[in-house]
Amino acid sequence: MMSRLLPAVSGRVPGVPPTPAMARVVGLLAHRWFSGAFRGPLQVIRCPAPQLHVSGPAMAASQEDFAKAMNQVKLLKEDPGNEVKLKLYALYKQATEGPCNAPKPGMLDFILKAKWDAWNALGNLPKETARQNYVDLVSSLSASSCSQVTPAADKKQAESDSLVVTSEDGITTIRLNRPAKKNALTTQMYRDIMRALEAASEDSSRITVLTGSGDYYCSGNDLSNFKDIPPDKVEERAQSSAVLLRDFVDCFIDFPKPLIAVVNGPAVGISVTLLGLFDVVYASDRATFHTPFSHLGQSPEGCSSYIFPKMMGPSKAAEMLIFGKKLTAREALAQGLVTAVFPDDTFQKEVWARLKAYAKLPPNAMRIAKRLMRHQEKEKLHAVNAEESRVLAERWVSDECITAIVAFLSKKAKL
Ligand SMILES: CCCCCCCCCCC/C=C/C(=O)SCCNC(=O)CCNC(=O)[C@H](O)C(C)(C)COP(=O)(O)OP(=O)(O)OC[C@H]1O[C@@H](n2cnc3c(N)ncnc32)[C@H](O)[C@@H]1OP(=O)(O)O
């Protein structure tokens, strides 16, 4: 019954299509109410006791953050849609008045009923958590609202030799473009990728893709990054590289839109570990996944020391991260590191067709779904990243690491 009366929530009773007239009337009512609630003061309604319990994040926004968020709502450039407005209303009421305590409105009072349901669904959610959720929701809306006003999505954005960034059909693509070096990452590329991600989070695209040119996806850190460091600067360089690494991985942890890896060929080192921070990973059946950290006297990064054991179980993660076992694409699929594997000869066609369809989905809904899935883990991931970066700085100045790098650079060793 509820869904028959509430188009703002679901629009129809399962199996019973709404008549066009009914849809028009209800839609008009909903539009009027929501327009008012969106810009102007929120109506007070009194409801009875709560039913559902919804748990929220541990941290709490201040009253000041909350007040700022309420002002921000009025400045949104895009109407976020009825469902989001309902959510905002419910969180606002919960944050300011606590659990829903108003009488249930009559079933024909569509608008009041939708609002009451939304508030009531928050159950005993603590006021502080509701305040935080309201602030988070407004901030995600503000970011996407900004990105939607950025003009001209369908154009090439930036180009350099080693990184090519394009935006087309709602997809920003960041392409590693050093095929002669198997797309190994120079320190400049780490910086350029961070900049590209920052821009992509604010541009008008809906999803973001990382891929490689040529036969490799990426051979990981360019081991030439270790070259030409004066002996008295080694420690200093290790520390500054740890900061670079930490900032770099933080960008992936915090990236707000769906992030997809299109793994066109073998992947090594950091390009593998980072995959745990992507939302979807599509791989060619030619791709392999190799993390030879022990061989290099190094240690895992990209939050893999935390994500991989959770994802594939500790012993499979140990085979990769301690012993450097190289996985085929099918094995990586079985371990949950890869979402889907495609035959190499149809890989590009199949994957891009899928991505173009995904890029037509409503952007706010996608961002919010991602946020909900990732939110609880963010703080933990930042802590893991900080620790992994700190440990790596120690490894880089170790004899084990220096010996391995010298062997590679003097062409005595390869994976
Ligand atoms: C204190 C300083 C700190 C530095 C800054 C750090 C910043 C953050 C660091 C984050 C930590 C990341 C860790 C990792 O990613 S570990 C993994 C590192 N990668 C490797 O060890 C791969 C090394 N490469 C190889 O083993 C082989 O090249 C490979 C198996 C990938 C391909 O073999 P293949 O035979 O098919 O091809 P070639 O070897 O002939 O390669 C073609 C040319 O490309 C060069 N190449 C390839 N990969 C790298 C690389 N990772 N670094 C540097 N150069 C690479 C290769 O040397 C060839 O060059 P030439 O044609 O000039 O010989």
- Assess whether 100 and 232 both reside in one domain: no
CATH code for position 387: 3.90.226.10
Structure tokens at 73: 């709502």
- Assess whether 335 and 244 both reside in one domain: yes
Q: Residue 108 — pLDDT band, cuts 50, 70, 90?
A: low
Question: Which of 100, 115, 143 corresponds to the end of one domain?
Answer: 143
Cβ of 331 less than 6 Å from ligand 1: no
Q: Residue 406 — pLDDT band, cuts 50, 70, 90?
A: very high
- Assess whether 115 and 230 both reside in one domain: no
Question: Which of 97, 115, 143 corresponds to the end of one domain?
Answer: 143
- Domain count across the chain: 2
Residues 6+ apart with CB under 8 A from 209: 171, 172, 173, 174, 259, 260, 261, 262, 355
Interstrand relation of 259-263 and 267-268 (parallel, antiparallel or unpaired): unpaired
- Assess whether 97 and 190 both reside in one domain: no
**8 Å CB contact between 389 and 245:** yes
> What average pLDDT score do residues 66-82 get?
71
Task: Output the CA angle 138-174-178, nearest 5 degrees.
Answer: 155
CB neighbour burial string for 329-349, b if at least 16 within 10 angstroms, e if fewer:
bebbbebebbbebbeeeebee
Cβ of 415 less than 6 Å from ligand 1: yes
What domain range is 169 assigned to? 163-413
Model ipTM over 0.85 = yes
Cβ of 183 less than 6 Å from ligand 1: no
- Ligand 1 centroid, distance to 43 Cα (angstroms): 62
Bridge partners (DSSP) listed for residue 164: 159, 175
- Assess whether 237 and 364 both reside in one domain: yes
User: Considering the domain boundaries, does residue 119 fall inside one?
Assistant: yes
Beta strands in 340-392 (DSSP E): 340-342
CATH code for position 100: 1.20.80.10
Is 50 exceeded by the pLDDT of residue 35? no
Q: Distance of CA 88 to CAs 8, 54, 231, 415, Å?
A: 13, 15, 57, 53
User: Considering the domain boundaries, does residue 365 fall inside one?
Assistant: yes
Interstrand relation of 340-342 and 280-284 (parallel, antiparallel or unpaired): parallel
CA 399 remoteness from chain centre: 37
Question: Which of 110, 143, 176 corresponds to the end of one domain?
Answer: 143
pLDDT tens profile 197-220: 999 999 999 999 999 999 999 999
- Ligand 1 centroid, distance to 221 Cα (angstroms): 7
**8 Å CB contact between 85 and 37:** yes
- Assess whether 87 and 168 both reside in one domain: no
- Assess whether 404 and 308 both reside in one domain: yes
Q: Residue 141 has what pLDDT?
A: 66
- Assess whether 393 and 246 both reside in one domain: yes
Cβ of 412 less than 6 Å from ligand 1: no
- Assess whether 197 and 227 both reside in one domain: yes
Cβ of 184 less than 6 Å from ligand 1: yes
User: Considering the domain boundaries, does residue 55 fall inside one?
Assistant: no
pLDDT tens profile 221-257: 999 999 989 989 999 999 999 999 999 999 999 999 9
